[in-house]
Amino acid sequence: MQSVGITARLERQQQRKAGVGTTCRNPISYCGQDYQKLKEECLRNGSLFEDDRFPAAPSSLGFKELGPHSSKTRGVQWVRPKDMLPQPQFIVGGADRTDICQGSLGDCWLLAAIASLTLNEKLLARVAPTDQSFDEDYAGIFHFQFWQYGEWVDVVIDDRLPVKAGELVFVHSVDNNEFWGALLEKAYAKLNGSYEALSGGSTSEGFEDFTGGVTINYDLQKAPRNLWTLMKKASERGSLMGCSINITSTSDMEAVTSQKLVKGHAYSVTGVDKVDYNGQKVHLVRIRNPWGQVEWTGAWSDSSALWDYVDGSEQDRLHVNDEDGEFWMSFDDWLRQYSRLEICNLTPDTLDDDGLKHWHSVTYPGSWVRGSSAGGCRNFPNSFWSNPQYRLCLEEEDDDPEDGEDGCTFVLGLMQKNRRKEKKLGGEMKTIGFVIYEIPEAFVGQPQVKLTKDFFSYHASTARSEVFLNTREVSQRFRLPAGEYLIMPSTFEPNQESDFVVRVFSEKLNHTQVMDDEVEIKTPEACKDDDDVDPSFIAVFEKLAGPDGEISPKELKNILARILRKHGNIKTDGFSIDACRNIVSLLDKDSTGKLGLTEFNFFWKRIKAWQKIYKQNDMDNSGDFNSFEMRLALKDAGYQLNDKLTQMIISRYRDDDMTIDFDNFVCCLVRLEAMSSMFKVMDQGGEGRIRLNLLQFLSMTMYG
């Protein structure tokens, strides 16, 4: 199975080089399913598409509350719209916010995002291609497009939808013969593993997966003075907006206030406008409840007498309707009632400047790996430095900043990946955040350097995320002087595993690079002259080797056991016979299957030096290494490795408790020594690269 995974990763790397997935015009076929080919095959065969990657089965509904034997899924059937109604439609009379009404799933955050999507016709047509129908060339297959962690994907589904007692279980439209919303929800459920995986979330998550944009969050208790203007500009530019009311306890969740607002519920902001009222301009905000009902009953609600003093043409323009889930509020009331606003910028455009400007953006993937690169926050100085590091070069300052302060404006977003998919396995959102440091002059222009513990012990941060949050993305806007900066993304606690992406959006072109050590091999001085044998050592060797004059794996095992018994402060499980066989095969230059005098002398010198390095880097005197000590010890032994190689090595040589004992440390160094020596022999031109035929490749990879 591992080889299949490696092959898939290599294929994906080739696709990226070809530009697949980098733009919405050239998306990746999710699960390898090509919409056009599948549809043509169904039409040719006269069959309706059945999606085996997201089957009409209990597993697609959920895993707990919507699990196979739950009361909520009892009686659910999967039915195609054509079997429900004589003339189903994909979209009826153009997509509208009333097309999206919530079913029995806690995904109001997603539906609020979909409702906002209907305000931008071009954007909706990309997410839900409008050339699909239940009439011409119908084959029971539909497709939708989403942004996922830096890539665009095209998701194929069949049109079998969950139905109970003749009604759609989840999203439905006011027009019961309209199905684009239900099909879009199904495609998004497939992308995340199940319908139940969509329960609970932030509207910004849906916004970003529809647009690839960046979301700015506003705490309305600390709202900027020009917020209404920012919202107006965002509305005019097609940006997506959502708002919500904070809860103080779980009992508050979806509690309805006296004026019919729902706490802990995701609303769409669908409009920002002004009306004339008694000779004054009143600022208004239009909100939509994904439930399709339960509306604000205060000032400027649908039934408010204040509308009687507004011209009828204005009322028509603002679509003042009855009980459709959408309503107007004064901006002041909205600020008092709601707690949080999310604005997702599509291009993304700046919101704080009057002029319309494009931002430059870069996306970098990364991983926090337990015991390797998951170092936790600054509260854990011994491991914090091991987190992935990114260099941000800000070269050009903003043009004519409004507040007169010079600097480079950028938005930094840190997004953890695939947490919804892992819900069924008990996976939860990690608590994440980031810190920004100014890079010292000595390291400016040197991306092939990973800054170590000493740097972070003696340098203060320049900026950071306001808090660490257990949300999919933490994002924040900054303005810093031109220069080079180090971005350190991390989980709050060490050894919290997750893949992530770092996104930087800046007003001016910036350069962002991964900061990592260049792979280098520097054999320590104490280990040179490997072929010189001390005369006193010959007698020792003859005694150890026995009559045949060579040391077998079994004899090596006994020798190493005697050595380790003398050092009780070093933890080890003992060198296994397999480990000794590997050591012998890696050091056996004459292919006898045993170690002769010169070969064993080489190993003896090495193990004495490695023992010293082991003790020096065992900082907590535990007798073994944690993974962060291991990286430093490898460097002291002459092996400067990058993050990827370190992760591979630690995952191979660590024990279940995430420690590396002495025997694994030695086995690792023996392999590094042998493989690097082999490389040097094959790199005859000294270019730092070699070419291998199949035999050579297999010989090297299978060696030892």
Instruction: Say yes or no to pLDDT of 703 above 70.
Output: no
CA distances (Å), 125 to each of 1, 6, 98, 382, 579, in order?
39, 36, 17, 50, 60
At 50 the pLDDT is: 98
CB 690 within 8 A of CB 679: yes
Cα–Cα distance between 610 and 351 in angstroms, integer? 57
Paired with 288 in beta bridges are 268, 326
% of the chain residues with pLDDT over 90: 41
Question: Using the 8-state DSSP alphabet, how is residue 386 labeled?
Answer: T
Instruction: Say yes or no to pLDDT of 155 above 70.
Output: yes
Catalytic residues: 108, 265, 289
Gyration radius (Cα) of the chain, Å = 31
Average pLDDT, the chain: 86
Q: Which pair of tokens denotes residue 22? A: 């980098």
Q: Which residues does 19 contact at the CB level (< 8 Å), separation at least 6?
A: 26
Q: Which residue has the tokens 């070269």?
A: 395
Q: What is the pLDDT of residues 4-45, one digit of tens each?
A: 455 555 566 666 666 676 677 889 999 999 999 999 999 999
Q: Confidence class of residue 698 from pLDDT cuts 50, 70 and 90? A: confident
| CA 529 to the chain's CA centroid | 48
Q: Are strands 520-521 and 408-416 parallel, antiparallel or unpaired?
A: unpaired
> Is the CA virtual torsion 141, 144, 148, 153 positive or negative?
positive
Cα–Cα distance between 320 and 329 in angstroms, integer? 11
Q: Which pair of tokens denotes residue 701? A: 């990879």
At 14 the pLDDT is: 66
CB 325 within 8 A of CB 289: yes
% of the chain residues with pLDDT over 70: 91
Q: What is the pLDDT of residues 620-646, one digit of tens each?
A: 888 888 888 888 899 899 888 888 888
Closest by alpha carbon to 240, among 272, 220, 270? Answer: 270
Closest by alpha carbon to 450, among 423, 482, 486, 496? Answer: 486
At 36 the pLDDT is: 96
Q: What is the pLDDT of residues 587-616, one digit of tens each?
A: 888 888 899 998 888 888 888 888 899 989
| CATH number given to 372-516 | 2.60.120.380
Q: Which residues does 362 contact at the CB level (< 8 Å), separation at least 6?
A: 503, 504, 510, 512
Q: What homologous superfamily does CATH list for 525-701?
A: EF-hand (1.10.238.10)
What angle separates helix 627-636 from helix 643-653, to the nearest 10 degrees? 110
Q: What average pLDDT does this structure show over 545-565?
A: 86
Q: What is the pLDDT of residues 479-533, one digit of tens each?
A: 899 999 999 999 999 999 999 999 998 767 777 888 888 888 876 544 445 556 7
Q: What ranges do the domains of the chain cover?
A: 24-211, 214-345, 372-516, 525-701
| CA 39 to the chain's CA centroid | 32
Q: For 69-84, what is the HEC assignment?
A: CCHHHCCCEEECHHHH
Q: Confidence class of residue 320 from pLDDT cuts 50, 70 and 90? A: confident
Architecture of 214-345 per CATH?
Alpha-Beta Complex (3.90)
Write down the number of H helices and E strands in the chain. Answer: 21, 25
Cα–Cα distance between 301 and 287 in angstroms, integer? 10
Q: Confidence class of residue 702 from pLDDT cuts 50, 70 and 90? A: low
CB 578 within 8 A of CB 535: no
Q: Which pair of tokens denotes residue 505? A: 């959006």
The pTM of the full predicted model, rounded to 2 decimals, is: 0.79
At 531 the pLDDT is: 59
Closest by alpha carbon to 633, among 580, 594, 689, 672? Answer: 672
Ordered alpha helix ranges (H), 276-385:
312-317, 331-337, 381-384
At 418 the pLDDT is: 92
Q: For 182-244, what is the HEC assignment?
A: HHHHHHHHHHHCCCHHHCCCCHHHHHHHHHCCEEEEEEHHHCCCCHHHHHHHHHHCCCEEEEE
Let me know the angle formed at the C-alpha of 646 by 645 and 647, rounded to the nearest 5 degrees: 90
Let me know the angle formed at the C-alpha of 244 by 240 and 247, rounded to the nearest 5 degrees: 155
Q: What is the dihedral of CA 480, 481, 487, 493, to 10 degrees?
A: -50
> What does the buried/exposed string (b/e) look like for 182-194 if buried means 16 or more CB atoms within 10 Å of the residue's CB?
bbbbbbbbbbbbb
